[in-house]
Chain A
Amino acid sequence: EVQLLESGGDLVQPGGSLRLSCAASGFTFNNYAMSWVRQTPGQGLEWVSAISGSGATTYYADSVRGRFTISRDNSKNTLFLQMNSLRAEDTAQYYCTRDRGSINKNPHDFWGQGTLVTVSS
């Protein structure tokens, strides 16, 4: 059974940093690209970032490029999102997702339950 368990969400001040983690199990982790997708309270969904199965290639939404860094440790089946220079508009539930393939351009076929990031003074 595919399982994705996010952690690291917290209350942080504007300009601060946070690192999210996602522990994956139930599938061959390095065979799949992974993504982070966020959802603001009561609002819709926004794709944030993706990384290829090997970790060699990364992709970012314009809204986070230069501030967020996605990475993965395939030896530990773990996905990360380093978030710097956080803004109020980054407040959201952050979901770790498995992409339906090893490279970009695939839908999200499994989702974690999410971790909440709140940016506020």
Chain B
Amino acid sequence: ENVLTQSPGTLSLSPGEGATLSCRASQSVGSTYLAWYQQKPGQAPRLLIYSTSNRATGIPDRFSGGGSGTDFTLTISRLEPEDFAVYYCQHYDNSRTFGQGTKVEIK
């Protein structure tokens, strides 16, 4: 099983600051098969990024994804109040696993 480890567990930032979230895989992941989701309390997750760097429909361009092999990142260029949430990475190759999540909280 390809284990995804996200870091940090919690990121404390202020609105307007930038955020960089990390997702490290125990085995190499094809760039086609890496996604990021956002989840707010009481809501279902929402797809943000797929195929490492492609924004899903309606996702603002302050969200960007990158990386390759075993190391991937989600970058939020300037945090808006609605961006404070939990973020999960997922690989969706032959098996599909999620990282444990990074919480972005207001400092």
B1 to chain A, nearest CB (A): 8
Q: Is A9 an interface residue (CB 8 A)?
A: no
**Given A44-B100, A45-B98: A108 in contact with B93 (beta carbons within 8 A):** no
Which residues from chain A sit less than 8 Å from chain B, CB to CB? Answer: 35, 44-47, 50, 61-62, 95, 100, 104-114
Are B50 and A105 in contact, CB atoms less than 8 angstroms apart? no
B78 to chain A, nearest CB (A): 25
User: Could you say which of B45, B98, B101 contacts A111, with CB atoms under 8 Å apart?
Assistant: B45
A60 to chain B, nearest CB (A): 10
Task: State how many residues of chain B have any CB contact under 8 Å with chain A.
Answer: 25
With a CB–CB cut-off of 8 A, which chain A residues contact B45? 45, 95, 108, 111
User: Could you say which of A45, A104, A109, A110 contacts B88, with CB atoms under 8 Å apart?
Assistant: A45
Q: Is B63 an interface residue (CB 8 A)?
A: no
Which residues from chain B sit less than 8 Å from chain A, CB to CB? Answer: 1, 32-33, 35, 37, 43-47, 50, 56-57, 88, 90, 92-101
Nearest A residue to B33, CB-CB: A105
CA distance A100 to B92 in the complex (A): 11
CA distance A106 to B54 in the complex (A): 13
Nearest B residue to A50, CB-CB: B96
Are A114 and B44 in contact, CB atoms less than 8 angstroms apart? yes
User: Could you say which of B43, B47, B100, B101 contacts A107, with CB atoms under 8 Å apart?
Assistant: B47
**Given A44-B98, A47-B96: A109 in contact with B33 (beta carbons within 8 A):** no
